[in-house]
């Protein structure tokens, strides 16, 4: 094995030592897996979610595993709550190095049936929430030696959503545009901004939207013949958040079992 690679692997356990990360939508699913992955490599992790009860349980779970984790219940679509969340991160941890914009909602509604309120919910959570968090994070990331933003888009953002509606596809495409634009604006400050585009991943978002039989049918249609696991997405996010990805910015990385190959 390449010596440098060997060294990196041995050090994975402390890769984020001294770094502070904020993960939104971290009470369950991929957000929880990301918080676990970053904490396992030494990060102090601020975990956000709008579901305060589920968040408290998730943070307690991580703390029990020895992580330095902090619960910040907040709705990422509400400007005042987002401001307060970043103020809390600064107050409790004194800095921010990594922002993971993971909070999201999906609705499977066909376009003609989408109520304006539902359109707003999907766009606000996936896109506006990402913008609000980026805006508050920028002044803090500027002070970091290696500021990182990782946004959760989807195969929906590059093509068309498998199980979500037009609002979900539009929101996730918007996340990709925001990612590219911020990468250009912030590169000179050594802040990288990237997106990940997962395919169908085994979480509540999917299990709560389609029946088990449909999930199995989708899974068998993918080249890798299964859904992705939250921990697999967390691994890619951790890579993008690390020093190993210092020259990657404005990118959108596919992780979809071969479902979408472009
Ligand atoms: N599961 C998939 O197949 C899949 C595929 C591609 C992209 N994604 C994206 O990945 C991200 C995580 O998805 P998941 O499958 O883990 O979802 P999930 O539904 O399991 O978890 C999402 C979390 O976000 C929280 N949340 C929702 N609205 C919020 C708000 N306004 N403020 C704060 N927190 C809020 C929820 O309470 C929940 O805990 C989402 O952005 C989703 O769109 C998911």
pLDDT of residue 1: 35
Which residue, judged by its Cα, is nearest atom 38 of ligand 1?
25
Tell me the average pLDDT of the chain. 95
Ligand 1 lined by 144 (C-beta under 6 Å): no
Ligand 1 lined by 125 (C-beta under 6 Å): yes
Give the start-to-end residue ranges of the domains of the chain.
Answer: 3-255
Which atom of ligand 1 is the closest one to the Cα of 156?
Answer: 6
Q: What percent of the chain has pLDDT over 90?
A: 95
Query: Model confidence over 26-65: pLDDT tens digits?
Result: 999 999 999 999 999 999 999 999 999 999 999 999 999 9
Residue 6: pLDDT band by 50, 70, 90 thresholds? very low
What are residue 149's DSSP bridge partners?
99, 193
Query: Model confidence over 87-125: pLDDT tens digits?
Result: 999 999 999 999 999 999 999 999 999 999 999 999 999
- How far does residue 1's CA lie from ligand 1's centre (Å)? 37
Query: Model confidence over 8-32: pLDDT tens digits?
Result: 444 458 999 999 999 999 999 999 9
Ligand 1 lined by 27 (C-beta under 6 Å): yes
- How far does residue 241's CA lie from ligand 1's centre (Å)? 19
Integer Cα distance of 65 and 68 in angstroms: 9
CA-based nearest residue to 92, from 49, 132, 45? 45
Ligand 1 lined by 129 (C-beta under 6 Å): yes
Q: Does domain 3-255 have CATH number 1.20.1080.10?
A: no
Query: Model confidence over 191-233: pLDDT tens digits?
Result: 999 999 999 999 999 999 999 999 999 999 999 999 999 999 9
Integer Cα distance of 180 and 146 in angstroms: 18
Average pLDDT over residues 74-81: 99
Q: What is the pTM of this model?
A: 0.96
pLDDT of residue 13: 82
pLDDT of residue 12: 56
Query: Model confidence over 152-185: pLDDT tens digits?
Result: 999 999 999 999 999 999 999 999 999 999 999 9
Q: Is 209 helix (H, G, I), strand (E, B) or coil?
A: coil
pLDDT of residue 4: 47
- Residue the block writes with tokens 């539009």: 170
């Amino acid at each position: 094995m390449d010596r440098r690679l060997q060294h990196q692997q041995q050090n994975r356990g402390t890769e984020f030592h001294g770094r502070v990360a904020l993960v939104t939508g971290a009470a369950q699913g991929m957000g929880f897996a990301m918080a676990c992955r970053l904490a396992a490599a030494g990060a102090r992790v601020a975990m956000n979610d709008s579901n305060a009860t589920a968040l408290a349980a998730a943070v307690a779970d991580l703390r029990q595993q020895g992580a330095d984790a902090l619960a910040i219940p907040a709705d990422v679509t509400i400007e005042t709550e987002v401001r307060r969340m970043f103020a809390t991160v600064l107050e409790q941890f004194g800095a921010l190095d990594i922002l993971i914009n993971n909070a999201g909602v999906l609705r499977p509604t066909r376009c003609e049936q989408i109520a304006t309120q539902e359109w707003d919910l999907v766009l606000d959570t996936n896109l506006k929430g990402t913008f609000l968090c980026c805006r508050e994070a920028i002044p803090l990331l500027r002070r970091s030696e290696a500021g990182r933003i990782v946004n959760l888009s989807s195969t929906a953002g590059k093509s068309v959503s498998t199980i979500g509606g037009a609002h979900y596809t539009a929101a996730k495409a918007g996340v990709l545009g925001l990612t590219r634009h911020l990468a250009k604006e912030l590169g000179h400050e050594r802040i990288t901004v990237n997106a990940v585009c997962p395919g169908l991943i085994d979480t509540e978002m999917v299990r709560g939207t389609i029946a088990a039989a449909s999930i199995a049918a989708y899974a068998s249609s993918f080249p890798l013949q299964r859904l992705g696991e939250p921990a697999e997405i967390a691994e890619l996010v951790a890579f993008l958040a690390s020093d190993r990805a210092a020259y990657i910015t404005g990118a959108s990385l596919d992780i979809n079992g071969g479902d979408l190959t472009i």
